[in-house]
Amino acid sequence: MQTRPLGASGLHVSRLGLGTMSWGRDVEWATARDLLHEFVAVGGNLVDTAPAYGAGVAEKMIGKALAGGLPRESLVIATKAGFVVRDGRRQIDTSRGALLNDLESSLRRLRTDHVDLWQVHAWGDAPIEETLSAMDAAVARGMARYVGVSNFVGWQTATAATWQEADRTRTRLSSVQVEYSLLARRAEVEVVGAAAYHQLGLLAWSSLGRGVLPGSYRGGRLPRGSRGASAIARRRWLRCARWGVERAPSGVWQTRRETTAMTILGGAGAGVARRDGRLQRIRPRPAPKPPRLLQRRHPSLDLRGIPQSSVLVRQQNRFPVLSPTRRRARRLQLHQRQQCVTL
């Protein structure tokens, strides 16, 4: 498996990462152990986890694998901090004390003295200067090698990166992690541009559209307890159905995008990438286009029977396709109107 540098840093990560959000909840220890060893065997190294995953069980599983003989140098461990449980409710706390306490607890569960990548799990109410000072302290103490942010929108990513770049004594951010798939492309609005400008590696989570893209919901079935049972995933599945798409060719198309450093596959996602018990090379394909748009560009295609009730298609149909002569005439007409208004 090929590796890529994480942003402008010297840390190299595999193009596919192993996510652990479902470990301890849907994935048992035996399955997690096999996934880890198989992932390392095919050249993968980055394992993404967090204290919030399984209330710390996911990190304990990784630590158990390391204690069982898995070489520490074979893994690039990325964990997070910022989610705490108080009075039985999960809250965001990005204060300096809470973040460093989270990191110390993570190191005990992981049975290691450092993590390779430490990320703020979400934007919080604490001043961003205080949040980022905790990351500087973690690097200075040797508890973390590189730092990044997670689930930040564009302006939050740029604010954090700019603050760290303003002083050379601060640790530059290396990455930003966001949801990014064929069905969730909001990151392209601002986050991708901010990451490119500040030379941050883009880590894409839920690259299989919360289970929609592999075809887990074909025929209208809804797996019990799946992440796709959420309202967000149901809307995305309906969007695919309206386009006549039951299963996307591949959900890991980001691996060929220059802006994406690494794509994270969870327990189910890793299963999709497996065939005959082995992880296989995934060949991404471009995103499917709406049927009516395809018919316009390729009149010879027979698309009868494919639903046309997509909202996107209806919006595109509001604007007729004009010939170059008509477009020039339209621009001239608008220019003349503007001159009349000016006079």
| pLDDT for the residue numbered 310 | 38
Rounded Cα gap, residues 133 and 150, in angstroms: 16
pLDDT at 79 > cutoff 80: yes
pLDDT at 202 > cutoff 90: yes
With pLDDT > 70 as the criterion, what percentage of the chain qualifies? Answer: 65
Q: Which of 53, 146, 180, 217 is catalytic?
A: 53
Rounded Cα gap, residues 48 and 36, in angstroms: 11
Q: What is the CA radius of gyration of the chain?
A: 23
Read off the pLDDT of each residue in 278-306 and give the average, rounded to a whole number. Answer: 51
| pLDDT for the residue numbered 322 | 62
Rounded Cα gap, residues 255 and 259, in angstroms: 9
Lowest mean pLDDT among 61-70, 110-119, 315-324: 315-324
Rounded Cα gap, residues 333 and 312, in angstroms: 29
Contact (Cβ atoms closer than 8 angstroms) between residue 136 and residue 171: yes
Q: 295: pLDDT confidence band, cut at 50, 70 and 90?
A: low
| pLDDT for the residue numbered 215 | 67
Read off the pLDDT of each residue in 141-159 and give the average, rounded to a whole number. Answer: 95
**CATH no. of 3-288:** 3.20.20.100
User: What are the sequence ranges of the domains in the chain?
Assistant: 3-288, 292-342
Rounded Cα gap, residues 254 and 191, in angstroms: 14
- The model's pTM: 0.71
Residue 102 to residues 80, 85, 120, 149: CA-CA distances in angstroms? 8, 11, 11, 15
Query: Quick one: which H or E segment has residue 271?
Result: helix 267-272
Distance of CA 14 to the CA centre of its chain: 14
Residue reference for tokens 């048992």:
28
Rounded Cα gap, residues 161 and 174, in angstroms: 9
Q: Which carries the bigger pLDDT value, residue 159 or residue 277?
A: 159
Q: Dump pLDDT digits (tens) for 41-54.
A: 999 999 999 999 98
Q: 222: pLDDT confidence band, cut at 50, 70 and 90?
A: low
pLDDT at 231 > cutoff 70: no
CA-closest candidate to residue 195, choices 115, 254, 138, 251: 254
Q: Dump pLDDT digits (tens) for 8-29.
A: 999 999 999 999 988 988 889 9
Instruction: State yes or no: is 53 an active-site residue.
Output: yes
Rounded Cα gap, residues 55 and 78, in angstroms: 16
